[in-house]
Amino acid sequence: SSSELQLTVYRLWKKINTLSLSNVPAKWISIPLNLDKYLFINCKSSHCDMSTQLTGNTCYFQTYLFALLCKVGRPIITPNGRSIDLRNPDLLEKVTIRIARFLFTFFFDSQNQILRPLTNSNFVLDFFRYRSSPYFTAFAQYLKVKKVPVPDYDRQYEGVTKYYVFTKSLH
């Protein structure tokens, strides 16, 4: 019944939330990634380390990057257990470049004729704060390192505000 299921889920939740890593019989060590190039999921200054959060509220994005590493890069622990190889580093590079470009053209993409105007109502007021965003700078620098043109992000604002003027509505 649903009450039995609810009780089972609650017991699992309670058990998970009382688990302490000190009770896990394992030796915790850091092992490096075997990467010789910057793929955004890793640290720009030390390719063997994972990237770190650039702002205080980006744990979801770091989780996304880790999922991307796992899903696309397909990591495996080397036979000696001292590092991690990626089965698809070239594919991971292509995907991270596409994601960076996508974020620069999310709201308005004139090349592909895409407009996504239904966004946060603060868009009009807050848009230009992107210039102080660590992630904006990181993605722009990443594309430059990869010798990929960085889309003009100001076009996002122009495209969406033209839509707002045309429809005379923010949503």
Give residue-wise pLDDT tens across range 134-148: 888 889 999 999 999
pLDDT number for residue 158? 87
Q: How large is the average pLDDT for residues 97-111?
A: 89
pLDDT number for residue 120? 66
Residue in this structure with the two tokens 């996504």, named with its chain if needed: 116
Q: How far apart are CA 56 and CA 64, in angstroms?
A: 15
Choose among 129, 127, 131: nearest CA to 107: 127
Per-chain mean pLDDT for the chain:
84
**pLDDT by residue (tens digit) across 68-82?**
999 999 999 999 988
For residue 137, what are its two tokens? Answer: 């700078």
Pairing of strands 84-86, 108-109: unpaired
Residue 85: beta bridge partners? 76
